[in-house]
Structures are given as structure tokens and as C-alpha cells.
Amino acid sequence: MKRTVDTNFYYFLQNNSGGSFHRDDKAGIGEGVIVEALSAADANQRAEKIGLYFDGMDDCSCCGNRWSSQYDDSDGEEVPSVYSTPVTKAKAGIFRKDVFIHYLDGRIECVKLQEAK
């Protein structure tokens, strides 16, 4: 799909704070969330509207915050990616089997990652 504005995709990885993950298929929240945005700051704002948070409220004090915010515009990718690997080639992890992509136009897509061999 051709992009009409200059956007990037920002990857948010969920920490299993307290030994569990939060998943909400309807809201598009899983172990991995990718947000299309105009900048890192815009990605953080869009992520908060989805339901991600960066203040650590009620998270486990020993495990750390569930979510970390984006700090730099250069962390964005031209295509939806997991650690700079396009989701079409990204491998599933122990917990991460899929990622939710939140597009600028409001669409949400759940992409199943490839099984590691």
C-alpha cells in the first residue's frame, strides 16, 4: 500500500510485569503493538489512546513497567516491523505469537508471526 503522508511504524513490546501479559483483541493490544505515526511523540499519544500506558501504575515493582514509550523519531520503521524485521519475516517468540498493527487511518490488523525453526 502506498503511503500518502510521511509516517513510520513504531514497535511497542509489552513486558510481562508481574508475570502476566495483558491482551485485548478488540482494542488490538497484545504482547507486541505497532503504531503508525508521524513521529515518536505522536506514536506515544496514539498508543495511549489504544490503552498502552507508560507510567507503570499498578505494575510490578520488581519487573518494571509494562510498556516503554518511544524516545526518538529514528526508531520508526518504513514498514511494520519487530526489532527492524518486517512483520512478514519476523519470527514468533516464546510468548509473542502475533502483533497488532494500528494504522494511521484507524485500521487494526493482527499479524501472526512465523514459527521459529
Q: What is the length of the chain?
A: 117
Domain assignment of residue 27, yes or no? yes
Domain assignment of residue 74, yes or no? yes
Domain assignment of residue 62, yes or no? yes
**How is residue 99 written as a grid cell?**
502483533
35-83: pLDDT as tens digits: 999 999 999 999 999 999 888 777 777 777 788 889 999 889 999 999 9
Domain assignment of residue 2, yes or no? no
Tell me which residue of 95, 116, 111 sits closest to 21, measured CA to CA.
Answer: 95
Q: What is the count of structural domains for the chain?
A: 1
Is the pLDDT score of 15 beyond 60?
A: yes
- The rounded distance, in Å, linking the Cα atoms of 31 and 11 is 11
Domain assignment of residue 1, yes or no? no
- The rounded distance, in Å, linking the Cα atoms of 59 and 57 is 5
Range of the domain at 74: 8-112
Structural contact between residues 100 and 30, judged by C-beta atoms closer than 8 angstroms = yes
Structural contact between residues 90 and 82, judged by C-beta atoms closer than 8 angstroms = yes
Mapped onto helix, strand or coil, the DSSP state of residue 14 is coil
Domain assignment of residue 80, yes or no? yes
Alpha helices in the chain (DSSP H): 40-50
Domain assignment of residue 31, yes or no? yes
- Per-residue pLDDT band at 94 (split at 50, 70, 90): confident
